Every structure is written in structure tokens, then in C-alpha cells.
Amino acid sequence: MASRGVELFTTRALPPDRRQAYWCDLIAETFPGMVADAPAGIRADLARWSVGRLDIVRATSSRSRVGRSRDRRGERMLVFHVQRRGQMMMRQMGRVEYAGVGDVLVAEEDAPYSIDISDTNDCLIMPVPAAVLGAAAAQDWCSRRLDGTNPNVRLLARMLGGIWDERGWLHRLDDGIDEVLIGMTRVACLSEDAVPEPMSRGPIDFALAHLHDPDLSTARIAQASGLSPRAVQKAFARQAGCSPSGFIAEQRLLRAAEALRRFSDKTVTQIAFDVGFSDAGFFARCFRRRFGVSPSQWRGALG
């Protein structure tokens, strides 16, 4: 079970007009069935290697999105994403989860999922056969988060990070290191407080489903989810790292940016109303503050 040396790839050495296609092809090659939605001129790096029977990937990139269709390899795989810098949001089978630094997002490889990736993102990705995890893999792992404050989850993240930091010595690792990683992954999955309670996703799911409603607020989310406003605020702080109003504004702007790219037949005002803004002027100011350009300039640059 020899370890494979590190393969390194980067878009930075390419002309800006070739980076997007190169990155999309590299993601599709590394993760069969995955499609990258990356901006033109993306600055990104990818490293991949193996430790025994485990393949590990480190990806660093600016803001982008990836989506994976059903993988047909037959063997059930769980994909662990260890967040080292930035944030990620994963959607799978109707569930939405967020990861900050130290958290681990888990996906079922054989079900479609998508991930929104923040700026200056750094993530370690490790697919693990469910069969080797035993009882830890018995539950549904579609879009689950392992809390980085849990000591067992933190140790798993440090082990993976340590292997990357010692990548120059991979060829000298003894057989059995993959079993150590599998064992630590199993322990992290079985930790009592590693997986959040299902209710913690309810307020965020409701907000995402009702972004188009200009009256969406903390009070409305609380009423719909059966929680107090304070509990809703805590859920957003824990899961998204921000307030409900901050989350709503960010998600509306992200949806607007995507709509400006995809729907050239819609006016900027139509898109603003579609994503939940009730004032086109306010939307334009928020958009410029978030992306540095006006909505029309954003659309023109993408065109």
C-alpha cells in the first residue's frame, strides 16, 4: 500500500483567459461526475496524493461553486471536506450545511450535491469507503457537518493537515497510516456532539426557501420554525457564522450575481425583485458594496 507522491496543479501559471477551462477540466478529472462553476481568470491550486488506499486532495481557490451528479462507481463512498480557511455551504438531498475553519462537511458520493465556496478557500478532501467505517456509516450522511470544536473532529483535521505539511516524506510513511486515518474518521463520526441536531438546519432551510419574500425576517423565521427569535439567531450564528439578516442579504446578493450571469433576458430590476429586494436602488448599492461593481458592470464583464 505505497503512498503516491503529490501531484501539483495550478491555474496561476496560465493566461487568465485559459484558467477557467483548465480548472473545470481538472475538477472533472479529479472528481468524476463533478462540474465546476468557476469565474474567468480563477486563481486556484490543487494537489492530490494517496496514503495507502485513501486518495486525498487539497484545493485552494477563490469564490466558485461545484456540483456533483450521481457517481456510478457502485461502492458507497463518504466524502469528507476539512475546512482549513474560508467557508463552504453544501446542499444535498434537501439539506443545507455550512462549514467554517476546522469544521468537516460530509457528503454521500452517490447522491447529487453542490458546494458554494468562499474567497481564499482552503479545503482538504478525502473520500472514504463507507464499508470500512462500520457502524459510523450506518446513518444517512447527506450534507452533514462535523463540528470543529469537537476534540475528535479537531484531531482528524490535524492529522490530515499534518500529512499535507509532511508531504515531502510521503514515500517514507509506513503501511497502515491509512488505517489510522480511517480509525480516526470513524471516531469523529461516532462522537456524540459531532453531528448537529436536525432542528439546527430548520431556520436556515426556511430562509433559503423564502429569500424571494421581501418580508423575510428573524421574526418570520422564528414563527415558521417554532423557535424563539433568540434561538433563531443562535442557530444562524452557529451554522452560518452571521446574523439572520446578514445571511439573508448575502444569499440574495449571491443569487442575484448568479442570475445576472444566467438570465440575460431579465432586467437588473427584475432580478432584484426576484431575489427579494423591494428597492432597485438599495439593491444596486448593496451589490456594489459586496462585489465592487454595479450589477450592470458585473453582467457586462461576464458577457
Residue 53's pLDDT band (cuts 50, 70, 90): confident
pLDDT computed for residue 66 by the predictor: 93
β-partners of residue 80 are 106, 126
What is the pTM (predicted TM-score) of this model?
A: 0.68
Look at residue 198 and tell me whether its pLDDT is greater than 50: no
3-state secondary structure of 298: helix
- Name the pLDDT band for 196 (thresholds 50, 70, 90): very low
On whether the CB atoms of residues 71 and 60 are closer than 8 A, the answer is no
Residue 171 binned pLDDT confidence (cut-offs 50, 70, 90): low
Q: How many other C-beta atoms lie within 10 A of the C-beta of residue 48?
A: 19
Range scoring the smallest mean pLDDT among 38-47, 65-74, 90-99: 65-74
Alpha helices in 119-201 (DSSP H): 151-165, 177-190
All domains in the chain, ordered by first residue:
4-192 (2.60.120.10), 199-302 (1.10.10.60)
State the Cα angle at 82 between 38 and 103, rounded to 5°: 110
Sheet containing 104-108: which strands, arranged edge to edge?
Answer: 4-10, 44-51, 54-61, 121-129, 77-85, 104-108, 144-146
Residue 116 CA to residue 98 CA, distance in Å, equals: 9
Determine the pLDDT at residue 173: 67
DSSP state of 14: S
